[in-house]
């Protein structure tokens, strides 16, 4: 199976965004502030609690004072494949990395971000095995486990560093977390690896790189043995919030911090825009969509979700949110129209409205795309005997074959606009009635 990674863009309306060549850095900043928390998720592709937490942090938190920077998906290709590292362990490449290493550009870029002057503290998010305990209590609960820990490389940094008391901060955070445990055995603790003297492998890690450059750094490890992704995300966000409080980063969030609301957020996959003329809601889409009109090459994919990515597999485009395969797009290649109208007219439930290209059409009863000279309209799933152009026709939900719906509820259908056999754009019609009540 041929599988290629495709370059794409992430778009977020509410938060400033800076796209580096290889690292997605989302900045949520306030004027006249130099205190900045840098949160990094996804250094290991098989630790979804880490990168889904960072994604929710980037999209559903408002920062009212000081600054928050988020790198939600540092090792994007490994995230897609749900593996620790397709080119080896990225978290063991910060002391020395070979010129030919395929992770080199990403590692060097995140190093530059970490060492920027206004980065005050670094959090590296992980999911670790087991539940850390200071004494051996079996295969899962033991000193060799990493899960449910706040990890530090040493106790203190330079005394002039405002957040240099690593041990004190870590214990403060773990004590606050332990007041909100979902289950009693989810207890958090502090794990000091004493890296400089006792742990040669950790001397190559991201946090030790930060510490050696006088940047306070911690690893937050939720347990891989927790039963759900929502629980992993809960503990990550709980820890991050405690660090923000210590750093006097005032924040508000759009949800209650509990399992129920986190589960709902994890199901919100956001929107995919293709070539600025196709828009697909990924939260409720079918697992496979066919005959998607795109270019044979150089397609541009834009996601509202920072974990969105696309991989070419054989003749299809597979859309991912994090490590989750969301939808497979089977393409039909067209030349893109260069002189297409920016708006179109449609009669919706008896009222004429003018919409921008690729807009959604919300319908109670019926709709009718008003004819435009030189344009052909193809309403996917609507069967019309002898009609090449399906504009000028009143169409109801009952007229559609639900096999052609975009969504799992069979209420959303594609409307494609063509000019001189070149593709212009795709809109979607949403019927807000249930099919049973049509």
Tell me, yes or no, whether 379 and 419 share the same domain.
yes
Number of structural domains in the chain? 3
* Domain assignment of residue 287, yes or no: yes
Tell me, yes or no, whether 124 and 241 share the same domain.
yes
- What pLDDT shows up at residue 437? 54
* Domain assignment of residue 8, yes or no: no
- What pLDDT shows up at residue 435? 55
On whether the CB atoms of residues 129 and 46 are closer than 8 A, the answer is: no
* Domain assignment of residue 4, yes or no: no
On whether the CB atoms of residues 283 and 303 are closer than 8 A, the answer is: no
Q: Which domain holds residue 422?
A: 343-437
- What pLDDT shows up at residue 18? 41
- What pLDDT shows up at residue 9? 53
Tell me, yes or no, whether 251 and 126 share the same domain.
yes
Measure the CA–CA gap between 307 and 98, rounded to whole angstroms.
Answer: 28
- What pLDDT shows up at residue 160? 80
Instruction: Kindly write down the DSSP assignment for every residue of 249-273, as one continuous string.
Output: --EEESS-SSHHHHHHHHT---EEE
Tell me, yes or no, whether 182 and 324 share the same domain.
no
Tell me, yes or no, whether 187 and 239 share the same domain.
yes
Question: In terms of Cα–Cα distance, which of 354, 399, 357 is closest to 377?
Answer: 357
- What pLDDT shows up at residue 386? 82
* Domain assignment of residue 1, yes or no: no
**Counting Cβ atoms within 10 Å, is residue 15 exposed (0-12), middle (13-18) or buried (19+)?**
middle
Q: What are the pLDDT tens digits along the chain (438 aa)?
A: 333 434 455 544 333 344 445 999 999 999 989 899 999 999 999 999 999 999 999 999 999 999 999 999 999 999 999 999 999 999 999 999 999 999 999 999 999 999 999 999 999 999 999 999 999 999 999 999 999 999 999 999 987 889 999 999 999 999 999 999 999 999 999 999 999 998 889 999 999 999 999 999 999 999 999 999 999 999 999 999 999 999 999 999 999 999 999 999 999 999 999 999 999 999 999 999 999 999 999 999 999 999 999 999 999 999 999 999 999 999 999 999 999 999 999 999 999 999 999 999 999 999 999 999 999 999 999 988 888 999 999 999 999 999 999 999 999 999 999 999 999 999 999 999 765 555
Structure-derived torsion over alpha carbons of residues 126, 131, 135, 139, reported in degrees to the nearest 10:
-110
- What pLDDT shows up at residue 198? 86
Tell me, yes or no, whether 373 and 239 share the same domain.
no
Mark which of 333, 360, 385 sits at the end of a domain.
333
Tell me, yes or no, whether 275 and 355 share the same domain.
no
* Domain assignment of residue 363, yes or no: yes
* Domain assignment of residue 182, yes or no: yes
β-strand 141-142 against 375-379: which pairing, if any?
A: unpaired
Place of tokens 């449609």: 346
The per-residue b/e assignment along 45-54, b for 16 or more CB within 10 angstroms, e otherwise, is bbbbbbbbbb
Q: What is the CATH number of the domain that holds 197?
A: 3.40.630.10
* Domain assignment of residue 107, yes or no: yes
Tell me, yes or no, whether 82 and 172 share the same domain.
yes
């Amino acid at each position: 199976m041929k599988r290629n990674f495709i370059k794409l863009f992430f778009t977020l309306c509410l938060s400033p965004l800076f796209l580096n060549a290889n690292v997605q850095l989302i900045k949520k900043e306030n004027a006249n502030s130099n205190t900045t928390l840098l949160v990094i998720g996804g250094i290991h592709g098989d630790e979804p609690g880490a990168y889904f937490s960072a994604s929710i942090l980037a999209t559903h938190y408002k920062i009212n004072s000081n600054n928050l920077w988020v790198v939600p998906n540092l090792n994007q290709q490994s995230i897609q494949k749900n593996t620790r590292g397709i080119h080896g362990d990225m978290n063991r490449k910060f002391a020395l990395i070979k010129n030919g290493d395929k992770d080199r550009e990403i590692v060097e870029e995140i190093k530059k971000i970490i060492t920027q002057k206004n980065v005050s503290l670094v959090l590296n998010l992980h999911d670790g095995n087991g539940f850390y305990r200071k004494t051996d209590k079996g295969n899962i609960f033991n000193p060799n486990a990493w899960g449910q820990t706040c990890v530090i490389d040493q106790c203190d940094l330079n005394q002039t560093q405002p957040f240099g008391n690593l041990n004190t901060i870590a214990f403060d955070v773990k004590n606050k977390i332990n007041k909100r445990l979902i289950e009693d055995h989810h207890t958090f603790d502090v794990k000091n690896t004493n890296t400089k003297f006792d742990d040669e492998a950790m001397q190559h890690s991201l946090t030790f790189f930060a510490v050696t450059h006088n940047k306070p750094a911690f690893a937050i490890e939720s347990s891989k043995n927790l039963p759900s992704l929502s629980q992993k995300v809960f503990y990550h966000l709980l820890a991050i919030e405690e660090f923000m409080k210590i750093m006097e980063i005032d924040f508000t969030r759009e949800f209650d911090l509990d399992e129920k609301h986190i589960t709902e957020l994890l199901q919100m996959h956001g929107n995919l825009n293709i070539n600025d003329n196709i828009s697909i809601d990924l939260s409720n889409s079918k697992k496979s969509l066919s005959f998607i009109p795109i270019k044979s090459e150089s397609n541009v994919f834009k996601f509202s979700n920072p974990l969105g990515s696309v991989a070419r597999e054989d003749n299809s485009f597979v859309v991912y949110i994090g490590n989750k395969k969301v939808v497979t797009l089977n393409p039909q290649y067209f030349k893109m129209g260069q002189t297409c109208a920016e708006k179109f007219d449609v009669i919706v439930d008896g009222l004429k409205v003018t919409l921008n290209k690729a807009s959604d059409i919300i319908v109670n009863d019926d709709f009718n795309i008003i004819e435009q000279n030189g344009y052909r309209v193809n309403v996917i799933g609507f069967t019309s005997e002898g009609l090449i152009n399906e504009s000028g026709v009143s169409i109801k939900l009952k007229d559609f074959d639900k096999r052609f719906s975009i969504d799992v509820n069979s209420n959303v259908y594609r409307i494609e606009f063509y000019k001189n056999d070149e593709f212009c754009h795709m809109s979607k019609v949403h019927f807000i009635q249930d099919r049973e009540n049509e």
